[in-house]
Amino acid sequence: MHRDRVAALYDVHSWAGVMFSVLVMIVCASGAIAVFGEEIDHWSNPALRVASDAPARIDADQALQRLSAAAPIDAGGSASMSLPHRLQGYYSMPFPTRHERLDRLYLDATSGELLPPRQSYLFWYLRHLHVRLLSDWNGRLFVGLVGIAMLLSVVTGLLIHKHLFRDLLRMRWKFGDGGRTLMSELHKWVGAWGLLFHLMIALTGTWLALEGYVSAAIRAAIDAGPETPHVAVDDRPATMTSLAPLLLRAPSAIPGLQPTYVDLDRWGMADATVTIAGDLPGTLVQHGMARVRYNAVSGALLEVRDARTRGFWAQLRAALEPLHYGYYGGLGLKLVYLLLGMMPALLSLTGALIWFDRRARLRGGRGSGDGRTAGPPS
Amino acid sequence: MRRLLVALLAGAWVATLLALVLPLPIALAGGRIGTEAATPVFFGAWLMLSGALYASGTALRMGVYALRSSAIILLVMALFAAWPPVDATLVGLAVGSAILALAQGWVAQRLLAAASAAGTRRGRQ
């Protein structure tokens, strides 16, 4: 590649890295730890640590009855009930409180007892730090900009890197020149090993962060699927069907579905519906995106939404979150995500140090008339 | 400017962990922490840690202090996770945090040793 072009790419690489280094550090460090969010939530809420592997003796109907006794659902109103899954051995239902905008009620799936309130939201702190830098005011926009800066850094880093394969297998712990060589070696070695992963994380993260700012028309085109069947409004009170049989039937509509929550709409009325949503473990489909909707009076199947049976763009959109957070695999994959996810934080530190050292050398070089340090590194 | 950026970067890493661990004793003792509680803890800790690291001297020293501080925080995290009653998830968290803490302690030690060897070489020359 022409030397001027390499120099220009090097400048883009450096400036994108240095300008956003602090934000990259925060977003990537919090994101890497947030991969273990469920475990951290389990750890920081001792009152909710009920055995998740014990058989659930309380079915969804009993749970709904007990939860709605504590937080009544208005006639014709909506509610959402989370089902026991993974580390959560309880049912839960949100309700507004004075202290929190939205708190939840928890019901032990084994004993059927109401559990004490949640003690902490430390997992949500990590998640909010990663997703919106703890700021409701355009936090996602800044995170999206971090993603674009990461993309620029990765792509330009790849283009200016001459010895990618050599650097995969070589790392020198040399400190002789005030740590310059060590920083440069670490930067290249870590960058080479994490290249594809960081490209994927930057791409998926940028889209997820900026999706809300993208035109509704583009989002609608991506999410385009079969028409949602219209349910005629009927305000007559009606008896609701049992949830338990619907939960048993749902996996026959979407093979592999593990229900995680139910949404109740127009509950108690003749036009009420039940949506059963859940996960498809081991697949690249976002949690909660697979859904089956039933008529809540007759139990008739109304709609099936399975991203795997939809168009390419919808499948790609459904894959973004599992790819970004690494929840499509097991513990080993989460560990890989933790390690590789920490790497951009290290790259921002080493990159910033290299940039400052190079500027210092350039200033010294100009002073002494030594022009050899001006070019980008080989 | 270089030292300030290193202080902000190192401070951000330690503050991220600190905001996770600092409110935890309240939850473990049966208290409640709201959704907004960690925000001032994170930003406050970040400011204070960055200031303290900046005042501590060279970039190397800042790096070593940050690695050691975060190793201590992770060890405290491991201790909290191993506090009975425990289950397999918590044991996993405790072991993982302890390994991460030891790895950071090792890197800090390695950096110090490499810097010290380089200093000795320069002295001999």
ipTM, two decimals: 0.89
Q: Return the pLDDT at A367.
A: 46
Q: Residue A153 is encoded by which pair of tokens? A: 């850094």
Judgement on whether residues A11 and A99 belong to the same structural domain of the protein: no
Are the CB atoms for A122 and B33 separated by under 8 Å? yes
C-alpha neighbours within 13 Å on the C-beta side of residue A224: 9
| One domain for residues A99 and A190 | no
Q: Are residues A271 and A323 in the same domain?
A: no
Q: How close B27 gets to chain A, by Cα (Å)? A: 5
Cα gap A334→A328, rounded to integer Å:
9
pLDDT, tens digit, 9 for 90 and up, residues A110-166: 989 999 888 888 888 899 999 999 988 889 999 999 999 999 999 998 888 877 777
**How confident is the model at residue A168, as a pLDDT?**
74
Per-residue model confidence (pLDDT) at position A186: 84
Residues A124 and A84 in one domain: no
B8 interface with A at CB cutoff 8 Å: yes
How many structural domains does chain A have? 2
Q: Is residue A219 part of a domain?
A: yes
**Boundaries of domain holding A294:** 56-117+232-309
User: For residue A107, is pLDDT > 70?
Assistant: yes
Is the Cβ of A35 closer than 8 Å to some Cβ of chain B?
A: no
The answer as to whether A50 is a domain residue is no
In the prediction, which pLDDT does A289 show? 92
Strand, helix or coil for residue A92:
strand
Nearest CB neighbour to A119, from listed B27, B59, B110: B27
A294 and A260 in a common domain: yes
Interchain CB distance below 8 Å, A125 and B34: no
Per the domain annotation, does A51 fall within a domain? no
Contact A91, A63 (CB under 8 A): yes
Interface contact A356-B38, CB threshold 8 A = no
Residue of B nearest to A118 (CA): B32
Residues of chain A above pLDDT 70, percent: 89
**A77-82 vs A301-305, strand pairing mode:** unpaired
Pick out chain B residues at pLDDT < 50.
none
> Of A309, A340, A358, which one is at a domain's C-terminal end?
A309
- Does B30 sit within 8 Å of A47, measured CB to CB? yes
The 10 Å Cβ neighbour count of residue B28 is: 16
Q: Is residue A331 part of a domain?
A: yes
Q: Using 50, 70 and 90 to split pLDDT, how confident is the model at A370? A: very low
The reply to whether A124 falls in a domain is yes
Is the pLDDT reported for residue A373 higher than 60? no
A255 CA to chain B: closest CA distance, Å? 28
- Taking all residues of chain A, what is their mean pLDDT, rounded to a whole number? 86
Whether residues A68 and A136 fall in one domain:
no
B16 interfacial to chain A (CB closer than 8 Å): yes
Question: Which of A142-146, A190-194, A319-323, B46-50 has the weakest average pLDDT?
Answer: A190-194
Q: Is the pLDDT of residue A188 over 90?
A: no
Domain end, chosen from A309, A327, A356, is at: A309
Does the structure show a pLDDT above 50 at A371? no
Provide the pLDDT for residue A366: 54
A347 and A221 within one domain: yes
Sheet holding A90-95, edge to edge: A103-108, A90-95, A77-82, A258-267, A273-279, A290-295, A301-305
| Closest in A22, A124, A352 to B35, CB measured | A124
Do residues A28 and A171 both lie within one domain?
A: yes
Asked if residue A317 belongs to a domain, the reply is: yes
Contact A120 B92 (CB under 8 A): no
Mean pLDDT for the stretch of residues A290-313: 93
Residue A105 and residue A151 in one domain:
no
Task: Please report the pLDDT score of residue B36 as a whole number.
Answer: 75
Please give the structure tokens belonging to residue B100. 């991460």
pLDDT of A368 over the 50 cut: no
pLDDT reported for residue A121: 85
Asked if residue A357 has pLDDT above 80, the reply is yes
Task: Please indicate, yes or no, whether residues A32 and A124 belong to a single structural domain of this protein.
Answer: yes
Kindly state whether residue A355 falls inside one of the protein's structural domains. Answer: yes
Which of A309, A325, A348 is the last residue before a domain boundary? A309
Question: Per the CB < 8 Å rule, is A120 touching B27?
Answer: yes
Domain identity same for A17 and A148 = yes
- Same domain? A372 vs A324: yes
SS3 A114: strand
Question: What are the distances in angstroms from CA A159 to CA A33, A149, A162, A170, A181?
Answer: 30, 15, 8, 19, 21
pLDDT, position A214: 81
